Amino acid sequence: MGKFIKVLSGIILFFFMLSSYSFSFKVISHNLEYAFYKKNKLIWSFKIKDFIQKENGDFEGKGVYITNKEKGLKIWADRGFYKKNEDKFLLRKNVHLITFQYGEVYTEELLFFPEKNLILTDKEVLIIKEGFRIKGKGLIYEVDTGNFRVKEKAKVKLKL
């Protein structure tokens, strides 16, 4: 009888271990809010309507909203992905970036590197600020230095 229990326990343990390796771990949430503080000061705030986090730390979400009050930034998009090992957000579909200094940017895709304070895209952009509009392709915005430029094919329309 003792031998039978050992074999049965071994089989159960084997199947339990096998099943634990075959299923991935995910965290699913709705209306998630996350805030990042440094020295008791709010640096970044993230709000995500529908959120799925994978076991490697990457996540994806719908209705992504990112703000940095200190830098005067607001970014939102219909979809967002975060790659933890690259510390990179990929924001897609109806992406809207608001800056205090440079106006509003509309595009379909934006890369955001929070640690580097760098925002990039190779897609078409429309920038609207009081008195003018700029259409072009690609954007580089170094948040810390204030370097903001359209990469190519920039066309400016002034309102008088």
Q: Domains of the chain: which residue ranges? A: 25-158
Q: For residue 8, what pLDDT is reported?
A: 47
What kind of architecture, by CATH, is found in domain 25-158? Sandwich (2.60)
* Span of 4-8, 53-57, 60-64, 134-138 with lowest mean pLDDT: 4-8
Please name the amino acid found at residue 112.
F
DSSP 20: H
Distance from C-alpha of 89 to C-alpha of 68, rounded to nearest angstrom: 15
Number of H helices, E strands in the chain: 1, 9
Summarize the chain as % helix, strand, coil (round to 5): 15, 65, 20
Give the number of other Cβ atoms within 10 Å of residue 29's Cβ: 14
Q: Span 32-49, mean pLDDT?
A: 77
pLDDT tens-digit series, residues 117-142: 889 999 999 988 888 888 989 999 99
Write down the H helix ranges in the chain: 2-22
- Which is it for strands 118-129 and 103-113: parallel, antiparallel or unpaired? antiparallel
pTM, to two decimals: 0.72
For the CA atoms of 48, 97, 119, 35, the dihedral, rounded to the nearest 10 degrees, stands at: -40
pLDDT tens per residue, range 95-121 = 999 988 888 999 999 998 888 888 999
